[in-house]
Amino acid sequence: MDTTMEKESRPSWDNPMQFVLACVSYAVGLGNVWRFPYLCQMHGGGGFMIPYLIMLFVEGIPLFYMELAIGQKMRLGSIGAWSAISPYLGGLGIASVVTSLYLCLYYNVINAWSFWYLFHSFQAVLPWSDCPVNSNRTAYLEECEVATPTQYFFFRETLNISSSIDENGGVHMGLALCLLLAWLIVYLFIVKGVKSTGKVVYFTATFPYVVLIIYLIRGVTLHGALNGVKYMFTPKMEQLANPQTWINAATQIFFSLGLGFGSLIAFASYNHHNNNFENQAITVSLINSGTSIFASIVTFSIYGFKATFNYESCLERMRLLLMNTFELAEDTVHIDNISFWITDLNRTQPEQIAAIASRIETCSLEAELDTAVEGTGLAFIVYSEAIKNMPAAQLWSVLYFFMLLLLGMGSMLGNVTAIITPLRDFKVLAHSLSNETLNGLVCLFCLLLGFGFTTRSGNYWFTMFNEYGATFSLLFIVLLEIVTVSYIYGLKRFEKDIEDMLGRRPNWYWKIMWVAVSPLLLISLFVFYILNYIQGGAPTYQAWDKDVVREELTQIRLGLRSDSEISCVNLLLLSAVKLLSVIPVLILIVF
Interface contacts to other proteins, rule CB under 8 A: 1-3, 115-116, 118-120, 122-125, 132-133, 137-140, 174, 177-178, 181, 184-185, 187-188, 191-192, 196, 320, 323-324, 327-331, 436
Inter-residue contact 354 to 345 (CB < 8 Å): no
DSSP state letters, 433-501: S-HHHHHHHHHHHHHHHHGGGGBTTHHHHHHHIIIIISHHHHHHHHHHHHHIIIIITTHHHHHHHHHHH
Q: Which is nearer to other proteins, 234 or 324 (CB)?
A: 324
Tell me how far, at minimum, the Cβ of 178 lies from other proteins, in Å: 7
Q: Which is nearer to other proteins, 43 or 120 (CB)?
A: 120
Q: Which is nearer to other proteins, 439 or 459 (CB)?
A: 439
Q: Which is nearer to other proteins, 174 or 539 (CB)?
A: 174
Tell me how far, at minimum, the Cβ of 407 lies from other proteins, in Å: 18
Question: Is residue 581 a known part of a binding site?
Answer: no
Tell me how far, at minimum, the Cβ of 389 lies from other proteins, in Å: 17
Phi/psi-derived region of residue 361, left when phi > 0, alpha when psi is between -120 and 50, beta in every other case? beta
Tell me how far, at minimum, the Cβ of 5 lies from other proteins, in Å: 11
- Cβ neighbours for 172, distance < 8 A, ≥ 6 positions apart: 158, 159, 160, 454, 455, 456, 458
Question: Is residue 590 a known part of a binding site?
Answer: no
Question: Is residue 288 a known part of a binding site?
Answer: yes
61-74 vs 78-85: helix crossing angle, rounded to 10: 90
Buried b (16+ CB within 10 A) or exposed e, 280-292: bbeebbebbbebb
Q: How far apart are CA 104 and CA 419, in angstroms?
A: 9
Q: Which is nearer to other proteins, 327 or 563 (CB)?
A: 327
Q: Which is nearer to other proteins, 145 or 167 (CB)?
A: 145
Q: How far apart are CA 22 and CA 194, in angstroms?
A: 10
Q: Which is nearer to other proteins, 353 or 478 (CB)?
A: 353
Q: Tell me the backbone φ, ψ of residue 141, rounded to 5 degrees.
A: -60, 140
Tell me how far, at minimum, the Cβ of 350 lies from other proteins, in Å: 20
Q: Which is nearer to other proteins, 122 or 426 (CB)?
A: 122
Tell me how far, at minimum, the Cβ of 573 lies from other proteins, in Å: 30
Inter-residue contact 238 to 466 (CB < 8 Å): no
Helices (H), 35-89: 36-42, 49-55, 61-74, 78-85
Please name the helix (run of DSSP H) or strand (run of DSSP E) that holds residue 541, with its range, or none. Answer: strand 540-545
Q: Which is nearer to other proteins, 183 or 468 (CB)?
A: 183
Q: Which is nearer to other proteins, 373 or 430 (CB)?
A: 430
Tell me how far, at minimum, the Cβ of 541 lies from other proteins, in Å: 28
Question: Is residue 28 a known part of a binding site?
Answer: yes
Buried b (16+ CB within 10 A) or exposed e, 458-484: bbbbbbbbbebbbbbbbbbbbbbbbbb
Tell me how far, at minimum, the Cβ of 188 lies from other proteins, in Å: 5
Tell me how far, at minimum, the Cβ of 320 lies from other proteins, in Å: 8
Tell me how far, at minimum, the Cβ of 149 lies from other proteins, in Å: 13
Inter-residue contact 549 to 146 (CB < 8 Å): yes
* Half-sphere CA count of 250, side-chain side, radius 13 A: 21
Question: Is residue 256 a known part of a binding site?
Answer: yes
Q: What's the gap between Cα 372 and its chain centre?
A: 16
Q: How far is CA 366 from CA 238, 295, 304, 311, 591, in A?
A: 19, 22, 10, 9, 54
Q: How far is CA 304 from CA 6, 220, 227, in A?
A: 57, 9, 5
Tell me how far, at minimum, the Cβ of 410 lies from other proteins, in Å: 17
Tell me how far, at minimum, the Cβ of 315 lies from other proteins, in Å: 13
Phi/psi-derived region of residue 324, left when phi > 0, alpha when psi is between -120 and 50, beta in every other case? alpha
> In this structure, how many other beta carbons lie within 10 angstroms of the beta carbon of residue 180?
16
Q: Which is nearer to other proteins, 191 or 247 (CB)?
A: 191
Q: How far apart are CA 344 and CA 349, in angstroms?
A: 8
> In this structure, how many other beta carbons lie within 10 angstroms of the beta carbon of residue 383?
27
Q: Which is nearer to other proteins, 110 or 501 (CB)?
A: 110
Q: Which residues are annotated as a binding site?
A: 27-28, 32, 256, 288, 407, 411
Q: Which residues are annotated as a binding site for Na(+)?
A: 27-28, 32, 256, 288, 407, 411
